[in-house]
Chains A and B, each alone.
Chain A
Amino acid sequence: MTEIASTSPTPGRLDSALRGFLTGIGGLAHAFVIWTAVFYAIQLSAGGMTGYGWFLLLLPAVVAAGVFAVALVLSRHRTIGVFILVLLAALGLSAVFLLNTFSYVIRNLEALTGG
């Protein structure tokens, strides 16, 4: 019994460390989406940008951060496998929103850049 009590914290710590590592990887992946959105906004703003254009181009960055936070909260108490899958699904959703925004922007470029 004492042996079990003394060895039980190790798997818990390992699980916690693995979860922290995966959270970091997921955060980096979401940061990639955020950086892509910000980079595109900066590039397009070189020729001028309306307030609505800034809002629209930075919206994917905000959405990616929000989706990442929601995914972390939803999968907090789940197994490692489910945790990874939920983070991947959140990453895919962030990328989908980003590309949808790109699609809208390139079809309404003149209205957004003021040109």
Chain B
Amino acid sequence: MNSDGDDDALSWDGDDALEAQRPEARPPKSTPAATARHAPSMPQTPAAASVPASDREADADDEPQTVGTVTLLLLGILGGIYLLYTVGWILGGVGMQLPVTFTLPVPLYQGALWLAVLAPAFWFVAVLAATRGSRPWVRIVWLVAGAVLLVPWPFVVSGGGAVL
């Protein structure tokens, strides 16, 4: 007699005799109770209970998912920084326009300013596209390099985009 309470609740007297008559005994882990106990350990795959046991072996290597989560988090942080850079270039560039256009024609300055405002977006998309098949750290390194190179210094040194 099985001493497990869950199995007792889901079985009738005489099941053991039926089990003995079966050509192949059921593996204990394939019971619904065992599957239900296993499911909370995998929050990413709520439908894991309905997945066949052979397919569930692919979920054993959870490490790539962890790396993917960290990469996704870093991409979000760097994307936010790039978005702030865009705002910084708008404010810093507009604040710097008057003294620069004293000697430079406005269309030339406006063209350069537009390019600088769009530079963080260009860099972010270009890195994502160019490192599509690369390892995650390569993508992060290029994005960090962009975050270093594209700092809106006119905004930073003016203390918030005020006219210099």
Contacts and interface: CB of A to CB of B under 8 A. Distances in A.
A, B: real partners: yes
A106 B122 contact: no
A40 B111 CA distance: 14
B152 to A, nearest CB: 8
Given A89-B119, A93-B149, A106-B99, A99 B112 contact: yes
A85 B122 contact: yes
Interface size bracket, B side:
35 or more
Contacts of B164: 103, 106-107
A8 to B, nearest CB: 24
Contact of B126 (A33, A40, A88, A95): A88
A18 B6 CA distance: 69
Interface in B147-164: 149-150, 152-154, 157-158, 164
Contacts of B99: 106
Interface stretch (B7-15, B44-52, B73-81, B100-108): B100-108
Contacts, number: 102
A98 B122 contact: no
A24 interface: no
Interface string A24-55: 00000000110110011001100000000000
Contacts of B105: 39
Contacts of B146: 89
A61 interface: no
Interface of B is mostly: helix
Interface residues of A, number: 31
Interface string B87-120: 0010011001001100111001101110110111
Interface of A: 32-33, 35-36, 39-40, 43-44, 74-75, 78, 81-82, 85-86, 88-89, 91-96, 98-100, 102-104, 106-107
Interface of B: 89, 92-93, 96, 99-100, 103-105, 108-109, 111-113, 115-116, 118-120, 122-123, 125-127, 129-130, 146, 149-150, 152-154, 157-158, 164
Given A96-B152, A100-B153, 14 more contacts: A32-B108, A39-B104, A39-B108, A85-B126, A89-B123, A91-B122, A92-B119, A92-B122, A93-B119, A98-B112, A99-B154, A102-B100, A103-B157, A107-B157
